[in-house]
């Protein structure tokens, strides 16, 4: 155990990528202790990536890249400006609302930060906001990406913990709303203290326009329900509703109706049993292609090729981490690390709340050093037996783990969102870190609420029959 973990930590300290560190430490452990034949190790390596739920990863990444290529991010931004730009600290509020919408398409914090975050930081800077404020609110709002469905970390966690990914998706909605409200309240406090004004004049016309788009989206599922009451089949009702929606969007040229429909299609499709979360990722790609090539006609074959190759590059790195982490996690089990940790924790406390506090501290620390995918793959096999022993719902624990690791993305030494925003804003890593610190407050408050009030997480999936 000491060789496995010690060599891994040493290689990380030396600056090697996390996947290579895990792979190298695993090889060293296997060579020295001869724990299994080579063929078994190879099988574990392949089994790590040979998973149907894992297919959702490249498709959700591709969907986010296609949305960026199609210019959907710009439409989302314009919609958010019309909706909340008139508030005090308007563009900071726009930043949050834009991230909420974009999170329903991308599923990752990095895509949010690098996509719509780029537009938001430039706009806030041009309107006279301190660059530190623009970076801070963008970093905080980017954490919404993996909380609102769809979510790539939820896919990985669901696969590792053998938990319904659909239940995890539904479980993320209410916590996502809570985080959004807390962030908007934080912006309001900053606006009051620092005397930020509004960035667009208050206009009933703009408010009505944005509200109308929300209403149009809400009318789609309602219209489908009413059509089914008339005796039409569900499939025919959905087809009619989508045709009417497309005709209205083409005629009125709405800003973000079709983008807002993305999470509606995904969540609605999964709720009605049309497709699994993995198939929902494929649906997200098809919808993105439709918007880029047919509806808006903003996507060229060159941009499509670029989005595809970017997806291949990102997916390859993710799957390499998953493959290496699967062998590493298996060796942790073989070396009885999980049992030793379980014994150590249960000897410290028999209270699940104290356990959750300890786990939160552990994952906040781990999130500073490990990639999200690697952390989930390594920690779930170790912690899940203890979680079940304390009678903690694994869906609830999945939300706690994901939010902790998202917070870890915001600070050094390995905070990827931190580095992305540092590059986008052209700030040093040190200044970017200091800019983000005040915005950790609403995130940590949300973490406390989600940890100690399980109903926030479990109410919706329970009501939908996804958790018994």
DSSP string, 354-416: HHHHHHHHHHHHHTTTS-HHHHHHHHHHHHHHHHHHTT--HHHHHHHHHHHHHHHTTSSSS-H
350: number of Cβ within 10 Å? 11
b/e per residue 95-121 (b: at least 16 CB within 10 A):
bbbbbbbbbbbbbbbbbbbbbbbbbbb
CB 149 within 8 A of CB 173: yes
| pLDDT for 397 | 94
| pLDDT for 160 | 83
Say which range, 21-25, 151-155, 333-337, 360-364, has the weakest mean pLDDT.
333-337
Q: What is the mean pLDDT of residues 427-456?
A: 87
State how far the Cα of 375 lies from the Cα of 322, in Å rounded to an integer: 10
| pLDDT for 114 | 61
| pLDDT for 413 | 60
Q: Residue length, the chain?
A: 468
Distances (CA, A) of 416 to 315, 409, 411, 460: 16, 5, 8, 31
Nearest C-alpha neighbor of 144 from the set 190, 203, 200, 184 = 184
Distances (CA, A) of 403 to 110, 140, 168, 354: 14, 11, 13, 18
| pLDDT for 47 | 67
3-state secondary structure of 467: coil
> How far is CA 370 from its chain centroid?
16
Backbone region of residue 352 per phi and psi (left: phi > 0; alpha: psi in -120 to 50; beta: other values): alpha
**DSSP code of 27?**
H
pLDDT at 335 over 80: no
What are the DSSP calls for 108-169, one per residue?
Answer: -HHHHHHTHHHHHHHHHHHTT--HHHHHHHHHHHHTTTTTSSS-HHHHHHHHHHT--HHHHH
| pLDDT for 174 | 92
The pLDDT confidence band at residue 1, using thresholds 50, 70 and 90, is low
State how far the Cα of 151 lies from the Cα of 105, in Å rounded to an integer: 9
CB 171 within 8 A of CB 462: no
| pLDDT for 458 | 92
| pLDDT for 285 | 84
Contacts of residues 52-56 at CB distance under 8 Å and 24 or more positions apart, as own/partner, are: 52/278, 53/155, 53/158, 53/159, 53/165, 53/277, 53/278, 54/155, 54/156, 54/159, 54/319, 54/322, 55/278, 55/281, 56/150, 56/152, 56/155, 56/165, 56/277, 56/278, 56/280, 56/281
Tens of pLDDT along 95-138? 888 877 777 666 666 666 666 666 777 777 777 888 888 888 88
Nearest C-alpha neighbor of 396 from the set 104, 146, 172 = 172
The pLDDT confidence band at residue 452, using thresholds 50, 70 and 90, is very high
State how far the Cα of 86 lies from the Cα of 84, in Å rounded to an integer: 5
| pLDDT for 393 | 92
CB 118 within 8 A of CB 234: no
| pLDDT for 459 | 92
Give the position of tokens 């995918």.
373
For residue 73, cis peptide bond before it (omega within 30 degrees of 0): no
Positive or negative, the CA dihedral 45, 147, 79, 288 is positive
The pLDDT confidence band at residue 53, using thresholds 50, 70 and 90, is low
Which residues touch 296 (CB under 8 Å, ≥6 apart)? Answer: 70, 71, 72
The pLDDT confidence band at residue 427, using thresholds 50, 70 and 90, is confident
3-state secondary structure of 302: helix
What are the DSSP calls for 313-332, one per residue?
Answer: HHHHHHHHHHHHHHHHHHHH
Comparing 149 with 226, which gets the higher pLDDT? 226
For residue 172, cis peptide bond before it (omega within 30 degrees of 0): no
The pLDDT confidence band at residue 41, using thresholds 50, 70 and 90, is low
CB 146 within 8 A of CB 179: no
Comparing 348 with 171, which gets the higher pLDDT? 171
Q: Give the helix/strand (H/E) hosting 68.
A: helix 56-69
Instruction: Provide the total of helices (H) and of strands (E) in the chain, helices listed first.
Output: 25, 0
Report pTM: 0.77
């Amino acid at each position: 155990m000491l060789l496995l973990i010690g060599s891994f930590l040493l290689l990380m300290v030396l600056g090697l990528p996390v996947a290579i560190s895990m792979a190298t430490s695993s090889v060293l452990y296997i060579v020295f202790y001869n724990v299994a034949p080579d063929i078994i190790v190879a099988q574990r390596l392949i089994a790590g990536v040979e998973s149907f739920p894992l297919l959702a990863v490249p498709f959700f990444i591709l969907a986010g890249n296609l949305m960026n290529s199609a210019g959907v991010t710009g439409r989302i931004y314009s919609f958010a400006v019309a909706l909340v730009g008139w508030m005090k600290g308007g563009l900071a509020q726009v930043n949050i609302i834009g991230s909420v919408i974009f999170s329903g398409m991308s599923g990752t914090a990095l895509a949010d930060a690098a996509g719509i975050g780029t537009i938001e930081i430039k706009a806030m800077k041009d309107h006279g906001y301190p660059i530190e404020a623009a970076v801070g609110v963008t970093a905080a709002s980017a954490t919404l990406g993996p909380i609102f469905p769809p979510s790539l970390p939820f896919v990985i966690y669901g696969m590792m913990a053998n938990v319904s990914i659909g239940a995890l998706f539904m479980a993320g909605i209410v916590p996502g709303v809570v985080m959004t409200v807390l962030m908007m309240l934080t912006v309001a406090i900053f606006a009051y203290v620092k005397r930020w004004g509004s960035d667009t004049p208050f206009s009933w016309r703009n408010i009505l326009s944005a509200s109308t788009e929300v209403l149009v989206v809400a009318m789609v599922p309602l219209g489908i329900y009413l059509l089914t009451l008339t005796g039409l089949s569900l499939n025919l009702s959905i087809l009619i509703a989508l045709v009417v929606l497309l005709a209205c969007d083409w005629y009125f040229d709405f800003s973000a109706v079709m983008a807002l429909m993305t999470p509606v299609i995904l969540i609605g499709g999964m709720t009605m049993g049309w497709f699994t979360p993995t198939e929902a990722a494929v649906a997200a790609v098809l919808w993105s292609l439709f918007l880029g090539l047919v509806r808006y006609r903003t996507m060229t074959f060159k941009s499509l090729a670029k989005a595809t190759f970017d997806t291949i590059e990102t997916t390859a790195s993710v799957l390499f981490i998953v493959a290496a982490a699967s062998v590493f996690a298996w060796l942790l089990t073989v070396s009885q690390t999980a049992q030793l940790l379980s014994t150590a924790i249960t000897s410290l406390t028999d209270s699940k709340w104290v356990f959750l506090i300890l786990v939160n501290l552990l994952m906040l620390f781990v999130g500073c050093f490990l990639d999200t995918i690697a952390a989930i793959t390594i920690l779930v096999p170790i912690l899940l037996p203890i979680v079940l022993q304390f009678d903690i719902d694994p869906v609830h624990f999945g939300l706690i783990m994901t939010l902790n690791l998202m917070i870890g993305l915001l600070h050094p030494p390995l905070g990827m969102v931190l580095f992305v925003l540092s590059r986008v804003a052209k700030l040093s890593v040190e200044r970017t870190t200091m800019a983000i610190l005040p915005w950790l407050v609403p995130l940590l408050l949300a973490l406390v609420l989600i940890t100690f009030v399980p109903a926030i997480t479990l109410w919706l999936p329970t009501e939908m029959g996804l958790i018994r």
